[in-house]
């Protein structure tokens, strides 16, 4: 009866600490969540069999304990496009009909065919979940390692079921897209939790747990009690991707399609399903407290924390840093944000804690002085930046610049790909050697549009200051509605109508650096300089203009538009989300 007494004691301990955590903006409690991942299937819909074939082979990220069951599909009688409430109810009905919660609890307790259960997996997960602070506390306890093993019991309250809904998968033909091929789908993610409270656990241990001193008749009755009982699940939340998830590629007969190896529709479909699966976890990390990692700051010079691959940490993943301060009005210690940091490097800590777990490095992007012991909480962002900017110089004008931080994929902090669009209007004196019927330079008003892209690498220093050098290429087009091709002496084999408006184009090389000051963690002021090195004027088909006839010399862009090259000074406002 010792085992019975021990289990009932655990019930009382866990009742006092509570199984379900109240949803708060910030908590200092973090334990690994266990997840069961399924996909939502409909009675009617396209590409469902193909989806299931790919989905069932996807694996749970190492950040979570894997509670996956053999059946990874939630079948419903619904048709595609059913209202969200109907989908939620249908999922709950199906999960309880197939007794998914029973299977999950049985997995936790390593339940055998004869109905007997044990603590083997719970102890194993308790050890793996423990951090160095738990190890040191256990070492000071008489129970030692057994204390860490029993910590696995609190993990049962974080048994989640994730249902991923690729709501309406369609290919390029079904979407009437001609220049690309591939797939697109809206993505909804439904989160449920196994209802496992102290009362449920007491019922399990008292009425369904087969003890070593139970006679065969009692053991049989307890097994049947478990088999006939339906443990319940509860709805937690729904999150959705803001835009449809897609994996598409420009066709081989397009300009962009010629630059990249072509993938088949089957390859793109697999990538779409995997992308949606990964996005589901990302959305849940953003929107649900239990999916966010929390850990104390271990060192403050430099910034280090005992977080790594075990917790799913990625380079440049964002964390808020809090300090608990006493609030006289509420008579409670409440968390106040003191700064924001990002991961600089990630250690491999996928092992049972020993008290000497390695640390990952972080760098600060906002806030004041951070101190050892402050709480880090994961606050992942999309890695997208949008910048409004205005340029002053030979190539000025206003524009917008968008960037994507690739660090989470490549592992290099602040390595970004960017694209930009700029517009400008400026008057230029066109030399008489480029004009017909004129002997003096004539000034014309031109409108310019420039777009380009490239790579940038950011460096943060002194908490909130950054430097971001970049290199790239750009394409600029100049137009004038009153100046016709017949009015100038330039020649190109693609000009067929001399009455067309002028349209001059050029490829250029860009290089520069932006200096930033963070107003807050998501917004900074920008001042920068960039250099433009231009080539020869081209027509809209990419062929160079020559002077006079086809035997003449190509005309440099900066000769026609005198000095339209060189330095541009930029100011702007940059927002990250």
Asked whether the beta carbons of 545 and 490 are under 8 A apart, the reply is: yes
**Residue 173 token pair:** 């033909």
Instruction: Give the contacts of 228 (CB within 8 A, at least 6 positions apart).
Output: none
Q: What is the pTM of this model?
A: 0.85
Let me know: does 119 contact 127? Beta carbons within 8 Å.
no
- Residue 149: phi and psi, rounded to 5, are -65, -40
Give the alpha-carbon dihedral of 398, 404, 405, 411, to 10 degrees. -140
Closest CA to 221 of 205, 238, 237, 208: 208
First to last CA, the chain: 57
CA gap 298, 316 in Å, rounded: 18
**Rounded CA gap, 483 and 227, in Å?**
85
The dihedrals phi and psi of 523, each to the nearest 5 degrees, come to -145, 135
DSSP secondary structure string for all residues of 378-426:
E-----EEEEEEEEEESS-EEEEEEEEE-HHHH--TTEEEEEEEEEEEE
Q: Render each residue's pLDDT in the chain as its tens digit; 577 residues.
A: 444 444 444 443 333 333 333 334 555 567 889 999 999 999 888 899 999 999 999 999 999 999 999 999 999 999 998 999 999 999 999 999 999 999 999 999 999 999 999 988 988 888 888 776 655 565 555 555 555 556 667 788 899 999 999 999 999 999 999 999 999 999 999 999 999 988 898 899 999 999 999 999 999 999 999 999 999 999 999 999 999 999 999 999 887 788 889 999 999 999 999 999 999 999 999 999 999 999 999 999 999 999 999 999 999 999 999 998 877 787 777 889 999 999 999 999 998 877 788 999 999 999 999 999 999 999 999 999 999 999 999 898 999 999 999 999 999 999 999 999 999 999 888 887 777 766 566 788 889 999 999 999 999 998 889 999 999 999 999 988 677 777 777 777 767 666 666 778 999 999 999 999 999 999 999 999 999 999 999 887 777 888 775 567 888 999 989 999 999 999 999 999 9
- Write the pLDDT tens digit of every residue in 69-111: 999 999 999 999 899 999 999 999 999 999 999 999 999 999 9
């Amino acid at each position: 009866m010792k085992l019975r007494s021990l289990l009932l004691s655990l019930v009382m301990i866990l009742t006092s600490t509570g199984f379900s955590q109240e949803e708060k903006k910030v908590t200092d409690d973090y334990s690994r969540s266990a997840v069961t991942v399924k996909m939502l299937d409909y009675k009617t819909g396209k590409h469902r069999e193909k989806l299931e074939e790919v989905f069932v082979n996807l694996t749970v990220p190492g950040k979570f304990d894997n509670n996956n069951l053999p059946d990874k599909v939630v079948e419903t009688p619904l048709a595609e496009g059913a209202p969200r409430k109907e989908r939620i109810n249908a999922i709950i009905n199906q999960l309880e009909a197939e007794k998914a919660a029973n299977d999950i609890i049985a997995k936790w307790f390593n339940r055998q065919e004869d109905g007997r259960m044990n603590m083997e997996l719970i102890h194993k997960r308790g050890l793996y979940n423990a951090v160095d602070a738990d190890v040191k506390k256990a070492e000071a306890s008489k129970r030692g390692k057994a204390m860490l093993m029993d910590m696995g019991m609190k993990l049962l309250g974080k048994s989640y079921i994730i249902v991923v809904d690729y709501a309406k998968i369609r290919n390029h033909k079904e979407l009437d897209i001609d220049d690309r091929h591939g797939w697109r789908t809206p993505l909804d993610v439904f989160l449920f939790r196994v209802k496992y409270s102290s009362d449920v656990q007491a019922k399990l241990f008292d009425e369904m747990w087969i003890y070593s001193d139970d006679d065969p008749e009692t053991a049989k009755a307890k097994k049947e009690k478990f088999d006939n009982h339906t443990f319940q699940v509860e709805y937690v939340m729904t999150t959705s991707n803001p835009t449809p998830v897609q994996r598409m590629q420009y066709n081989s007969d397009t300009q962009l399609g010629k630059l990249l190896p072509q993938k088949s529709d089957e390859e793109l479909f697999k990538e779409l399903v995997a992308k949606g699966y990964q996005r589901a976890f990302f959305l849940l990390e953003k929107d649900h407290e239990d999916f966010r990692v929390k850990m104390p700051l271990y060192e403050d010079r430099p910034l280090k924390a005992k977080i790594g691959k075990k917790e799913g940490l990625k380079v440049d993943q964002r964390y808020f840093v809090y300090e608990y301060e006493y609030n006289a009005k509420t008579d409670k210690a409440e968390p106040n944000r003191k700064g924001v940091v990002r991961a600089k490097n990630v250690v491999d800590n996928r092992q049972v804690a020993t008290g000497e777990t390695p640390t990952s490095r972080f760098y600060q992007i906002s806030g004041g002085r951070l101190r050892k012991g402050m709480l880090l909480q994961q606050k992942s962002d999309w890695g997208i930046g949008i910048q409004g900017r205005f340029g002053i110089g030979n190539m000025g004008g206003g524009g917008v610049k968008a960037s994507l931080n690739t660090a989470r994929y490549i592992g290099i902090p602040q390595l970004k790909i960017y694209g930009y669009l700029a517009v400008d209007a400026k008057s230029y004196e066109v030399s008489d050697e480029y004009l017909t019927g004129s002997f003096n330079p004539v000034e014309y008003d031109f409108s310019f549009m420039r777009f380009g892209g490239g790579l940038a690498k950011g460096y943060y220093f002194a908490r909130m200051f950054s430097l971001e050098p970049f290199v790239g290429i750009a394409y600029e087009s100049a137009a004038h509605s009153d100046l016709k091709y017949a009015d100038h002496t330039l020649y190109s084999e693609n000009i067929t109508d001399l009455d067309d408006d002028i349209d001059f184009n050029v490829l250029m090389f860009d290089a520069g650096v932006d200096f930033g000051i963070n107003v807050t963690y998501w917004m900074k002021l920008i001042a920068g300089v960039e250099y433009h090195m231009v080539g020869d004027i081209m027509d809209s088909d990419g062929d160079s203009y020559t002077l006079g006839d086809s035997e003449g010399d190509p005309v440099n862009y900066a000769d026609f538009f005198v000095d339209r090259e060189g330095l541009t000074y930029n100011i702007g406002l940059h927002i990250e989300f």
